Amino acid sequence: WAWMVVCTMAITGKADQGFIRKRNASLVLNELRLSAPLSRADLAKRIGLNRSTISSIVAQLLEEQLVHETELQTDKIGRPGLSLELNPSGGCMIGVEVGVGISKVILTDFLAGNIWKGRLELPLEEPIDGYLHAAGRLVEHALREAAKQQRRVLGIGISVPGLVDVTEGVLRISPNFRGQEIPIVGPWRKRFGLPVIVENDANAAALGEHYFGVAKDAPNFLYLGAAAGIGGGIIIDGKIFRGRGGYAGEVGHMTMDPEGDMCNCGKRGCWETLIGPRAVVERYRRSVAAGSASPLSKNLEGVTFGAIVEAAEIGDLAAVSVLQEVGHDLGLGIANLVNVFNPQLVILGGVLSLAHETLIPMIRETVKQNSLYPMRAALSILPSEYGTEDCLMGAVSLILDDLMRAPV
């Protein structure tokens, strides 16, 4: 028994030391991500670790090539030291966005700088397996590009619309693809021999805003994005809030009108049926059919959300009116979310960001009228940094996030 206790203590001690070392390395990487260039002494002060611990961690990160040294500091009192920064050449990351109508892939450096990008458009009726196959072909191209430049690939991040079991790497259900129980991580790891992470598209986009976009300084915020449907990402203390089963954030399926239009999820009156791109296009068609003058009236069947935004920008009254109605409906839902989560920031992403100049003023006014004052007092509402590319950059951030949490 005593021997078992000693062995258990030894094993647990090693495990604890490994955990602490990973945590400390994560702190160093994140501090450099946010505030580089920094010296070893700067890192020790900011993180609260002793110099020898910092030096040991930095040595390992230098060996892993995730960090590099830059020019000597000469503008500070005391002994000069080499500055440290994240190393853009420390590795590259592949981001994959599987969206309705399109598959996209991007290859970036360790700082998310673009190296190569590709996209393939597919028929809307194509099953999700076809989209994944197309994305795989693009990944093969990205890997050839990385090999050509002699860059090591750190992993592949994939964003998909729907309920994702991130632990098992399975897309459980996707209303807009009408697919379910689609294994992704297992087959892709086997095919490419790399770490693979799959995530709901809105969660991924929210994480991308946290690492690369307008939410760098906001540990608590909500992301609201639109492509074929509406998705939400909830970031609390810098981490994705997943809920019990991992499926939190499906804000597009909040019931707003029980007698409303049928949603792809099988329910009536979801928020998505009021503010989603398809719903906006349908509103516009009904408005023009009822007699509203519009430069797009000759081709109503071919109208897109982007075309409506462009029409509003040149003074199309029907387009302006429809977007203002959508802004009001967006504002009502956002006000409810603000009252529940009390975020410091709400981000509009996907195609919603294309119309931010029209939508955000109406959203702000509606939120002001329908949320509690302390909740909205310091609230910001901003468009996404990456617009319609936010899910793609979010996919990249999945790999960075994984490395930041366990870099050694």
Q: What residues contact 61, with CB distance under 8 A and at least 6 apart?
A: 25, 28, 29, 67, 407, 408
Q: Are strands 179-183 and 114-121 parallel, antiparallel or unpaired?
A: unpaired
- How is residue 349 written in tokens? 């992403």
pLDDT of residue 287: 85
Q: What is the mean pLDDT of residues 311-323?
A: 89
Choice among 17-31, 207-221, 389-403 with the minimum mean pLDDT = 17-31
pLDDT (0 to 100) of residue 11: 46
pLDDT digits (tens, 9 = 90+) for 288-302: 887 777 777 777 778
What's the pLDDT band for 180 if we cut at 50, 70, 90?
confident
Residues 157-183 have a mean pLDDT of 90
In this predicted structure, the answer to whether residue 124 has a pLDDT above a threshold of 60 is yes
For position 6, what pLDDT does the model report? 38
Burial per residue of 255-270, b for 16 or more beta-carbon CB atoms within 10 angstroms, e otherwise: ebeeebeebbbeeebb
CA distance 82 to 74: 10
Tell me the mean pLDDT in the region 169-188.
Answer: 89
Residue 228 to residue 281: CA distance in whole angstroms: 12
pLDDT tens digits, one per residue of 61-100: 999 899 999 876 555 565 556 899 999 998 999 999 999 8
68-82, 148-162, 272-286: lowest mean pLDDT where?
68-82
pLDDT digits (tens, 9 = 90+) for 65-74: 999 998 765 5
- Say yes or no to pLDDT of 44 above 60: yes
Cα dihedral sign, 335-337-338-340: positive
Q: 3-state class of 339 per DSSP? A: helix
Identify the band that residue 7 occupies on the pLDDT scale cut at 50, 70 and 90: very low
Per-residue pLDDT at 100: 86
Where residue 408 falls among pLDDT bands split at 50, 70, 90?
A: low
234-249 pLDDT, tens digit each: 999 989 999 888 889 9
Average pLDDT, stretch 338-356? 94
Q: State mean pLDDT over 105-128.
A: 94
**232: enclosing H helix or E strand:** strand 230-236
Q: Among 194, 201, 224, which residue's Cα sits nearest to residue 347?
A: 224
The Cα 147–Cα 107 span in angstroms is 12
CA distance linking residue 358 with residue 363, whole number of Å: 9
- Compute the distance between CA of residue 172 and CA of residue 27 in angstroms, rounded to an integer: 33
Helix 390-405 with 201-212: angle, nearest 10 deg = 70
User: Given this model, what pLDDT does residue 9 score?
Assistant: 37
- pLDDT at 343 exceeding the cut of 60: yes
What is the structure's pLDDT at 137? 97
Whole-number pLDDT of residue 15: 53
Instruction: Tell which residue, 204, 165, 208, has the closest CA to residue 184.
Output: 165
Taking residues 202-220, what's their average pLDDT? 94
Residue 243, phi-psi category: left (phi > 0), alpha (psi -120 to 50), beta (remainder): left
221-226 and 345-350 strand pairing: parallel
What value does the mean pLDDT of the chain take? Answer: 89
For 382-402, how does the pLDDT look when each residue is reduced to its tens digit (9 = 90+)? 999 999 999 999 999 999 999
Q: What mean pLDDT comes out for the span 213-241?
A: 91
The total of other beta-carbon atoms located within 10 Å of residue 152's CB is 11
